[in-house]
Structure 1
Amino acid sequence: MTLTKKVKKKEQAKQGMFENVMKQFNAAADMVELNPNIRKILAVTNNELIIHFPVRMDNGEVEIFKGYRVQHNNALGPYKGGLRYHPTIDIDSVKALAMWMTWKTSLAGLPYGGAKGGIQMDPTKYSQSELERITRRFTYALGENIGPEHDIPAPDVNTNAQTMAWIADTYMSTKAPSERSKNQHVVTGKPIGSGGLEGRDRATGFGVYLTIKYWAESKQVDLKGKRFIVQGFGNVGYWAAHFLEKDGAKMVGVQDAYGTISNEEGISVDHLFEFTKNNKGAVVGFPDSTAVVKEDFFGIDCDICIPAALGNQITEDNAASIKATLVAEGANGPTTVEAEQILLDRGITIIPDILCNSGGVIGSYFEWLQNRNGELWELEEILARIDKKIREVFRRVLKASEDKNLDMRSAAYFIAIERIEKAYIQRGIFP
């Protein structure tokens, strides 16, 4: 029994991310026999904010930007989700990402709901000073739509600790002096010196690695010598690869926005990372590697495939070419429902995004707690906390998968949606 088998296949046209997440939700809602009234609530977002705001560029000209913040659900706690800067962002993709965050925080057992946002732009076209002004102006425009006990943004695609520092400073500057220190946790993923968490930069990738490790343990598989490919070599892809390599696995293919490289003998993760620092972040041109046609990336011979870039990357067009026995979704929504069914029919295991990349939001939760309680934790303690949390969640999903004869995504959705349903039933619906 699979979640995707419950989805009626429409025409062969490619679907958007929101259509993808709604297919998953509707199939999961059928599977758990979700209360019809609660189903109506969870099928829509609570709030959708679209902001057009002006920013003066370095040359003195004013440019108008379009920003988004979608708050899907807060039944379990404050909205939580990243902000991304990317030209492909639109309202539907942000709605999909916000809904995935609701399932992710629920599955992880965190006291959060789901949100997502960002700005429709290519950040590589702007200077550092322009990016700062864009970020600060966007934060000011968001106003009270975010807040440390209401909606807590975090880094995502093309945003980082510096971005979060600008947001936190701008937001705190709008408060009375006596209240500013109480609002530091309006965002997570901040620099260490600005209240950030040790290890937050590697939390998501570390979580991806941990879920692969736990899967291997459950199958009595040794990761040493296993070959893996990574799509996206940012924080998530790099750290996942870093930890896998330490366990003896071998990276044989990498793809980023600039191109694809491979080497069946292995690519040094840290050497490639150092190379990208001096190559505008690109992997193309790395010594001892061969350039590969973009469309052939997923066909590289490997044991583990880690899509850690954008959504809808594994589709009906390339799913059949995947040679891995395990797909670990480091990105949000990298696999369409049609492609997933192809993979499952071929006996390929998928560790779903809401489990696989949950290390980031778990790390964010610890940062939020640290700021809220005025505590300071060391790196080893933080990684141990993330390890403990993800191990618990992975075991719960694996058990549900085995007990109910479900694939892992179906099992994860079952647990996540059931927890939210329970909260609504216990609290009731106002009025």
Structure 2
Amino acid sequence: MTLTKELKKKKQPKQGMLANVMKQFDTAASLVNLNPNIKKILEVTNNELIIHFPVRMDNGEVEIFKGYRVQHNNALGPYKGGLRYHPTIDIDSVKALAMWMTWKTSLAGLPYGGAKGGIQMDPKKYSNAELERITRRFTYALGENIGPEHDIPAPDVNTNAQTMAWIADTYMSTKAPSERSKNQHVVTGKPVGSGGLEGRDRATGFGVFLTIKYWAKNKNVDLKGKTFIVQGFGNVGYWAAHFLELEGAKMVGVQDAFASIGNSQGLSVENLLEYIKNNQGSVQGFPDATAVAKEDFFALDCDIFIPAALGNQITKDNANDIKAFLIAEGANGPTTVEAEKILLEKGVTVIPDILCNSGGVIGSYFEWLQNRNGELWELDEILMKLDKKIKEVFNRVLKTAENKEFDLRSAAYFLAIERIEKAYVQRGIFP
């Protein structure tokens, strides 16, 4: 029985991301026949931090910010997960994202656990100098709750390489001079000049593209001429679109926080990126496209849909509108359990987030190793390693799905949870 079939037994209420991930976990745990004692451990977080901290603004006034860091599980290694700056962040959403990171790192075979965090704020309302002070003050407040062998943050929504450079510099400045260089890998996703990995900016989007590519190859589907739409045109959405366009696929719709656009004849990925850079970061008004009503975007004619924005975007209210035969989850938790049931009944394939967007955390692992070992990897080598790793994980998920007659999410969860359970069984539970 698949994860989705199990969910049919109960009518799902409208729910947030935490309820969504818990439902996925509970049902997957029954598929794995997870040890009930280990299930008790995995269904709760290890640590939850809520931090209030003051920062002086450019006008001299002090503003109080609320920051979060949730560490879900570290059975397989140090906590790992991004930091996002967004007004919708709350403790429940961070707990959900931290749990998804645990499954993602486990599925990818990495020596990491899962964590997530961020600050409840709209970064667009602050100057660059204010963002630097906010980031550094948050890092100082986190203190020893992060560390290169304990909890390693990375970029996420509205954070980037510059954010990570500020965090690394602040954290290292709290160490003795002789120890500072040993703590460079406290974060990943840093600028290349500050110990970052070549190509880390495209790792997640490249991974999304690779999972689409390997799925298409398995199904004998030629990507050339296929159409796709993207929700969210940040790093993930852009790079996934970039590589798909190189394969001959055609982007016909894009949605961001401000507008939705479409063109059945195709949108140039590079031209749109250039327009966004010169248009205050939005697709709104792009001259080679027609404006599309927000509620009509998911109904655009296309073959592939890449949700690469926030969670809970595909719901029971819009799942039936989707025309695509393949959904590749570039975002974390974009599809609710109710929506996925509808999609699978329609014959739509969903490549789940913990597989589809795992290129980012795999790239982070490469950067962490590079810093830890004092090495320097070139872009071609990095993309080759990323391709090899994602191909290996994708094939394991596909084989499990075929052997057990699971959908892809069920298969991915099965493998992720099974690996963590094995670690607990082999090591035991202290005391």
How high is the TM-score relative to the length of structure 2?
A: 0.99
In the TM superposition, residue 11 of structure 1 has moved relative to its aligned partner by: 5.8
2:266 alignment counterpart: 266
1:32 alignment counterpart: 32
Per-residue CA distance 1:258-292 (angstroms, 9 max, x = gap): 10000000000000000000001100111120000
Q: 1:200, 1:294 → 2: CA distance? A: 31
Per-residue CA distance 1:343-367 (angstroms, 9 max, x = gap): 0000000000000000000000000
Per-residue CA distance 1:118-169 (angstroms, 9 max, x = gap): 0000000000000000000000000000000000000000000000000000
For structure 2, which runs of at least 5 residues remain unmatched after alignment? none
2:95 alignment counterpart: 95
In the TM superposition, residue 4 of structure 1 has moved relative to its aligned partner by: 2.2
1:151 alignment counterpart: 151
Q: Is the 8 A contact 2:189 2:196 kept in 1?
A: yes
* SS in structure 2 of the partner of residue 266 of structure 1: strand
Count of residue correspondences: 431
Which amino acid in structure 1 is aligned with residue 157 of structure 2?
A: V
1:254 alignment counterpart: 254
For structure 1, which runs of at least 5 residues remain unmatched after alignment? none
In the TM superposition, residue 5 of structure 1 has moved relative to its aligned partner by: 2.1
1:371 alignment counterpart: 371
Mapped pair 1:176 → 2:176: yes
Per-residue CA distance 1:61-101 (angstroms, 9 max, x = gap): 00000000000000000000000000000000000000000
Mapped pair 1:192 → 2:196: no
1:309 alignment counterpart: 309
In the TM superposition, residue 2 of structure 1 has moved relative to its aligned partner by: 2.1
* SS in structure 2 of the partner of residue 265 of structure 1: strand
Q: 1:12, 1:381 → 2: CA distance? A: 45
Write out aligned runs for 1:13-412 (5 A): 13-412=13-412
How high is the TM-score relative to the length of structure 1?
A: 0.99
Question: Over aligned residues, Cα RMSD in angstroms?
Answer: 0.8
In the TM superposition, residue 33 of structure 1 has moved relative to its aligned partner by: 0.3
Q: Is the 8 A contact 2:12 2:338 kept in 1?
A: no
Per-residue CA distance 1:337-390 (angstroms, 9 max, x = gap): 000000000000000000000000000000000000000000000000000000
In the TM superposition, residue 8 of structure 1 has moved relative to its aligned partner by: 5.8
Q: Is the 8 A contact 1:72 1:98 kept in 2?
A: yes
Q: 1:164, 1:231 → 2: CA distance? A: 25
In the TM superposition, residue 31 of structure 1 has moved relative to its aligned partner by: 0.5
* SS in structure 2 of the partner of residue 30 of structure 1: helix
1:413 alignment counterpart: 413
In the TM superposition, residue 12 of structure 1 has moved relative to its aligned partner by: 6.0
Q: 1:13, 1:360 → 2: CA distance? A: 32
Q: 1:335, 1:124 → 2: CA distance? A: 27
Q: 2:4, 2:349 → 1: CA distance? A: 14
* SS in structure 2 of the partner of residue 153 of structure 1: strand
Q: 1:125, 1:10 → 2: CA distance? A: 43
Which amino acid in structure 1 is aligned with residue 302 of structure 2?
A: C
Q: Is the 8 A contact 1:9 1:338 kept in 2?
A: no
In the TM superposition, residue 294 of structure 1 has moved relative to its aligned partner by: 0.3
Q: Is the 8 A contact 2:331 2:357 kept in 1?
A: yes
**C-alpha distance 13-39 of structure 1, shift in aligned 2 (>3 A):** closer
In the TM superposition, residue 327 of structure 1 has moved relative to its aligned partner by: 0.3
Identical pairs, percent: 84
Which amino acid in structure 1 is aligned with residue 175 of structure 2?
A: K
Q: 2:12, 2:248 → 1: CA distance? A: 41
Which amino acid in structure 1 is aligned with residue 139 of structure 2?
A: T
* SS in structure 2 of the partner of residue 347 of structure 1: coil
Q: Is the 8 A contact 1:104 1:354 kept in 2?
A: yes
* SS in structure 2 of the partner of residue 189 of structure 1: coil
Q: 1:12, 1:345 → 2: CA distance? A: 16
Q: 2:153, 2:263 → 1: CA distance? A: 38
In the TM superposition, residue 14 of structure 1 has moved relative to its aligned partner by: 1.9
In the TM superposition, residue 193 of structure 1 has moved relative to its aligned partner by: 0.4
Q: Is the 8 A contact 2:8 2:341 kept in 1?
A: no
Mapped pair 1:7 → 2:1: no
* SS in structure 1 of the partner of residue 264 of structure 2: coil
Q: 1:100, 1:307 → 2: CA distance? A: 16
Q: Is the 8 A contact 1:67 1:119 kept in 2?
A: yes
In the TM superposition, residue 115 of structure 1 has moved relative to its aligned partner by: 0.1
* SS in structure 2 of the partner of residue 262 of structure 1: strand
2:422 alignment counterpart: 422
Q: 1:281, 1:409 → 2: CA distance? A: 33
In the TM superposition, residue 214 of structure 1 has moved relative to its aligned partner by: 0.2
Which amino acid in structure 1 is aligned with residue 233 of structure 2?
A: F
* SS in structure 2 of the partner of residue 263 of structure 1: strand
